[in-house]
Amino acid sequence: MKVKVSNKVLVYLGVVAITIIFIFPIYWMILTSIKPNEAILRLPPQFIPKGATLNNYKNIMGDGKFVVFYKNNVIVSTVTTLVTLVLAVFASYAFSRFRFRGSRFLQMLFLSTQMFPAMTLLIALYNMYFKLGLLNTYTALVLACSTNALPMSVWILKGFFDTIPKSLEEAAYIDGSSKANTLFRVILPLIRPGIIAVGIYSFLISWEDFLWGLTLVNKTEMRTLASGIAMTYLGEYNYDWGRVMASAVTAAVPILIIFIFLQKYIISGLTAGAVKE
């Protein structure tokens, strides 16, 4: 199909403009993270920094704490993603494929767990994890973050399952494929984009978690990034802009790499192109 040149130009312009707008604050973050403090708090802003320094990075890497927060966050987010994906794929497939009485109610129940203000739950949750002896453990953080990520993940995946015609499974059943086999071999490959999207979603839900890392954990060596950053750089007396920015940039880079890496799979999931059939 031929596309007009003017249309092409418009599309490129649009994409580039939006990208620039959205990326500018990130550029500003990176810039701030390599500026010396006296340049951060003054006008005119330097768009190309004078006396750029990696001190903030050296400092956050050198103090030992940041690396620990980082490690904890990676562990919690990875495990949360796996747990959430397994549970969400199962549950959403059930919701998508089986019409049973109470299905709607259960789905609403799932979703409604996220409709109650977390603030009022803090004491009850703290109490519960305390009683279970899970305070200051990864288990507590994984459970709490999975709970946060699961309902939406189920909904998102159900949306993807719903786009797959039932005739596909029926055909598989006629070919003698078992239920489980059909789900894993026939259906899952088709919703790979959905699975990856949900994987990213649940990873980032736990990656950005502040409340649980703040409440269910109180040892410095167990803290995750957000609460660790708050504790270390957003202190009683002043904000350490330079270091906050440096830690944010460091936090974002690996995720970006993971994402670029996973994009391939989104695309390959599509080129498999089975949806068309």
Hey, which residues between 180 and 199 contact another protein (CB under 8 A)? 180, 193-194, 196-197
Identity of the amino acid at 37 = N
Beta carbon nearer to another protein, 81 or 247:
247
C-beta of 81: minimal distance to another protein in Å? 14
Half-sphere exposure of 64 (CA within 13 A, CB side): 2
Helices (H), ranges, 191-240: 192-207, 211-215, 225-233
Residue 38 CB, nearest approach to another protein (Å)? 4
Q: How far is the CB of 152 from another protein (least distance, A)?
A: 5
- Distance of closest approach, residue 171 Cβ to another protein, in angstroms: 14
Between residue 235 and residue 264, which ones bind another protein under the rule CB under 8 A? 235-241, 244-245, 247-248, 251-252, 255-256, 259-260, 263
For another protein (CB under 8 A), the number of binding residues is 135
User: Taking the complex as a whole, how short is the minimal distance between the CB of residue 160 and another protein, in angstroms?
Assistant: 7
Q: What are φ and ψ of residue 239, in 5° steps? A: -95, 135
Contact pattern for another protein over residues 44 through 73, marking x by CB under 8 A:
xx-------------------x--------
Q: Which of 68, 159, 169, 265 binds another protein (CB under 8 A)?
A: 159
CB of 151 to another protein, least distance (A): 7
Long-range contacts of 57-65 (CB under 8 A, 24+ apart): 57/33, 57/246, 57/250, 59/243, 59/246, 60/243, 60/246, 60/247, 60/250, 61/250, 63/232, 65/220, 65/228, 65/232
What is the widest separation between alpha-carbon atoms in the chain? 72
Q: In whole angstroms, how large is the CA radius of gyration of the chain?
A: 23
Q: Which of residues 64-123 bind another protein (CB under 8 A)?
A: 65, 83, 86-88, 90-91, 93-94, 97-98, 100-102, 106, 108-123
Is 33 a residue that touches another protein (CB under 8 A)? no
Distance CA 83, CA 62 (A): 33
Check residue 215 for interaction with another protein (CB under 8 A). yes
